[in-house]
Amino acid sequence: MHGIFGMLDNWHSFASQLGKNHRVLTIDLRNHGRSPHSDVFDYPSMVKDLEVFLQTNDLEKAHLIGHSMGGKLAMHFAMAHPKKLLSLTVLDIGIKYYPPRHDFIFGALCEMDLSKFSSRNQIDEMLSGRIKSFAIRQFLIKNISRNAKNGFEWKMNLPVIRANYDKIIEWIPMGNPFPQKTLFVRGENSDYILDEDWPGIQELFPKAVLKTISGAGHWLHAEKPYELLKKINKFLNKSS
């Protein structure tokens, strides 16, 4: 499961490699990608979405993998439905509250009138004034599609995501510890999971192990896909 502003397409190459040894399903979370838009956007609603998804695909139990916001959703689901999971893998996100980190992105995207652009290059040029990273701009531009009038529009429900952002960065409430094996993977250059966060994580996930990928930041699957794939395959083989 992807993070905020993401979609299942972000995982295509990685999922294809993981799929050599496992059945892999990737999903667009609500208000993202090709999934339906809704005025309700919080973890409880996405937990229900995921439960329906597993039922629809005849999955009594599954190994659940989530990155960033998708990782927090995975943890919420694990706390609510521990018997539906074989294992849990959380990529570069912890259980704590995270101060807002995406305001500059929301500002740049919400101020753009997509109807005024005729090419993706024009959109990229406009975004470059606010977002210096080319990689981040390309990641965001994947959220743009052509509409019936051959103009551009956002695939994601940007106003609702922004309005409910405070619900996405909230902490994971304490509950009964998750009884299954859990893998946390962080990037060496990322500050999302700090050493001091680990004791609190272990209270909720007592069977958790923490792995660090050298030279990687927050976008593990994009920056170090081979290293991440190796760690996840090893973990899943032990957890099956």
Closest CA to 47 of 19, 18, 68, 76: 76
Which member of 35, 68, 87, 190 is catalytic?
68
Q: Which fold has domain 8-97+171-239?
A: Rossmann fold (3.40.50)
- pTM of structure: 0.94
Pairing of strands 144-146, 85-91: unpaired
Q: Mark whether 13 is an active-site residue.
A: no
Residue extents of the structural domains in the chain = 8-97+171-239, 103-163
With a CB cutoff of 8 Å and minimum separation 6, the contacts of 190 are 92, 216, 217, 218
Q: Which two tokens stand for residue 225?
A: 């896909």
pLDDT of residue 148: 82
Condensed to tens digits (0 to 9), the pLDDT of residues 43-58 reads 999 999 999 999 999 9
- Asked if 33 contacts 156 with a C-beta cutoff of 8 angstroms, the reply is yes
Give the angle subtended at the CA of 107 by the CAs of 102 and 113, to the nearest 5°.
135
Catalytic residue selected from 2, 32, 63, 218:
218
Q: Could you tell me the end-to-end alpha-carbon distance of the chain, in angstroms, rounded to an integer?
A: 20
Q: State yes or no: is 218 an active-site residue.
A: yes
The residues facing 65 across adjacent strands are: 89
Residue 39 has what pLDDT?
A: 97
